[in-house]
Amino acid sequence: MHNLVVCTLCSCYPHALIGCRRSGTSRSSIARARCASARVLREFGVDLPESTEIRIWDSSAELRYLVLPERPAGTERLSEAELATLVRATR
């Protein structure tokens, strides 16, 4: 499963945290993300297998979504500092 958060109010999202905003915030851009989510994700450099379920979460002024990744397998004994190193390495 892969999560995609869309929002017509993207200007107030923390882009340093969720990544660069390449597409516009127009209704047509949001509709395109909903209808062709795999293609839109590929444009952002995320190439998923066809079998991946893509869940779309629509944020609004009243409701915000932040998708947190699962802890990587085999990292149960890593310290917080060691985990932070992993996160920086994947950026």
- The residues annotated as belonging to the active site are 7, 10-12
Q: What is the distance between the alpha carbons of residues 34 and 48, in angstroms, rounded to a whole number?
A: 16
Measuring CA to CA, which residue among 83, 52, 81, 58 is closest to residue 69?
Answer: 83
Determine whether 33 is exposed, middle or buried from the number of CB atoms within 10 Å of its CB (0-12, 13-18, 19+).
Answer: buried
